[in-house]
Structure 1
C-alpha cells in the first residue's frame, strides 16, 4: 500500500536495515553524556566518569594520569561528545523525511490542512523516539543499543506504521470525498492524480533512501572509530578495560 511505503521509508531510522544489519558494533555498557560535558559509563554497580576537565574517576577514585593518557582521554571524550548528538540528528532526519512524504501527498491533492492529524502523529512518534536517548538531562546510549533497534524498536515501528497508515488513509479519503462531492474531481482525474503522486513519491523515496543510508554509514564508521580509540585507550590506561562501550 502506498501510504505504508511512504511512512516506512520516512521512518527508516528505526529499521534494522539501517542499523544492526550494516554495523558490526556492539554497545557493551550504558554511555551517558551530561550537559556539562561529562562522560559516564555505567556497568552494574561499577562506574567510570570523565569530568568536563578530562579527569578520570573509577568508582569515585581519581586516576593519576600521564600527559599521554590525558591526551588520549581528551580525544575519546571529544569523539563521544560529537557522536551522541549525531545519532539524534539522524533520528530527526527520519522524522523530517516522513513529514516530507506527507507534504508531497497534501500538495499533490491540493488539500492543505487535511493531513494535520497525520503530521501530528508523526511528530508524536518523533518525540517518543528521541526520549529513548535521554535520562533526565543526560544523553544516553544504552547498552545493546543496536540489538534493541533490531528487536524492541522494530516492534514499536510496526505498531507505529499501522497507526499512521490508518491516519493517512482517512485523511486521503476525506479530502477526495470533499472534492468529488463539490464536483472538483471525477474518477478519471482521481486516477491521474494517484499516478502522478506515485511517480513523485517514488523519486523522493529513492532520494531519501540514499541520503539516510549514507548518514547511517557515517554513524557506523564513527562508532568503529570510537571502538578503535577505546582499544588504544584501554592499552594506555588498563584501569578502564572493565568499562568497554563500543566494541567490534
Structure 2
C-alpha cells in the first residue's frame, strides 16, 4: 500500500496552492506502514500505535479501555485513508500522462515513439518518492506540506521541462522519420504538425484540470477531517496531545 503514494498529491497541492490554501500540515514526523503508525518528536521521543489498538508513548505501553482503543483505531484508519487517497491521485496523474501519450501516438500514427517520455515521467515520480521510503515504510517529516508549497514549484518546473524537452525531441524525430518514409521531409508540414501536437496535449491537460482541482480539494478536506479526528482523540487519550500529527493552524 505504501508504494507510489505521495508525489502526485504533493505536485497537485503545489500546483493548486495559489488557488486554494489547505491549512493543514504535519506537526511531527511520522513513519507509516500497513500495521502501525509512529509519531516522532524532534527530541527523539515517539508514540507508536498499531492495528490491534496497542499504544506506547516514549517507550511505555499505555493501558487503554475499549473506548480509547476504538478511537485510536478509527484515527489510524483515517491516516491510512489519506495514504490511499494520495495513492489514487498518483495513479490518476500517471495514467493521465500515459493516456495523453497514447492518444497523441495513435492519432499521428507514431506508436512507440514516445515510450521514452513515459519512462522518464514514471522515473521522475519514483526518484522523488524514494526520498520518503525506508525499508517499505513511508517516512514523512514535520512541516512537509509547508515546505512543498514553498519549494515544490521547483519540482513541478523540473517535471514540466522534462516533459516539454523530451516530448518535443521525440515527436520531432518520430515525425521526421515518418515523413521520410512517406516521400520526404517537408519542413513546413512538420512545423504545422508540431503545432497541432502541442495544441492537442495542452487541450488534453486542460480537459482534466477540473478533475485535478477536485482531487486536490478532496485531499485537503480529508486531511482537515483527520486533524479534527485527532483533536477528538486527544480528549480521550490526553497523553497523545504532544504527539500530534496534524497542525490545523492557518499557514501564511
Alignment TM-score, normalising by the size of structure 1: 0.84
Correspondence 1:200-215 to 2 at 5 A: 200-215=200-215
In structure 1, the residue matched to 2:168 is 169
Contact 1:13–1:90 (CA under 8 A) maintained in structure 2? no
Query: How far 1:134 sits from its partner (Å)?
Result: 2.1
* Whole-Å separation in 2 of the counterparts to 1:30 and 1:147: 13
After superposing the two structures, state which structure 1 stretch, 151-160 or 44-53, moved more: 151-160
2:41 corresponds, among 40, 43, 62, to: 43
The C-alpha deviation readout for 1:56-114, integer Å capped at 9, x for no partner, is 11011111223222221121011112212321321222222222222222222211121
Q: Which runs of 5+ in 1 are unaligned?
A: 1-10
In structure 2, the residue matched to 1:86 is 85
Using a 3 Å threshold, how does the CA distance of structure 1 residues 217 and 238 change in structure 2: closer, same or farther? same
In structure 1, the residue matched to 2:3 is none
Contact 2:16–2:216 (CA under 8 A) maintained in structure 1? yes
After superposing the two structures, state which structure 1 stretch, 212-221 or 92-101, moved more: 92-101
Query: How far 1:197 sits from its partner (Å)?
Result: 3.9
In structure 1, the residue matched to 2:16 is 18
* Whole-Å separation in 2 of the counterparts to 1:176 and 1:197: 11
SS at match of 2:15: coil
After superposing the two structures, state which structure 1 stretch, 214-223 or 160-169, moved more: 160-169
* Whole-Å separation in 1 of the counterparts to 2:187 and 2:59: 72
After superposing the two structures, state which structure 1 stretch, 180-189 or 114-123, moved more: 180-189
Aligned residues: 237
* Whole-Å separation in 1 of the counterparts to 2:9 and 2:197: 20
In structure 1, the residue matched to 2:141 is 142
* Whole-Å separation in 2 of the counterparts to 1:96 and 1:13: 16
In structure 2, the residue matched to 1:4 is none
Contact 2:75–2:229 (CA under 8 A) maintained in structure 1? yes
Query: How far 1:119 sits from its partner (Å)?
Result: 1.3
In structure 2, the residue matched to 1:6 is none
* Whole-Å separation in 2 of the counterparts to 1:48 and 1:163: 41
The C-alpha deviation readout for 1:193-223, integer Å capped at 9, x for no partner, is 4565455434422332111211111111110
Alignment TM-score, normalising by the size of structure 2: 0.83
* Whole-Å separation in 2 of the counterparts to 1:206 and 1:157: 16
* Whole-Å separation in 1 of the counterparts to 2:126 and 2:231: 35
* Whole-Å separation in 1 of the counterparts to 2:153 and 2:195: 31
* Whole-Å separation in 2 of the counterparts to 1:141 and 1:84: 11
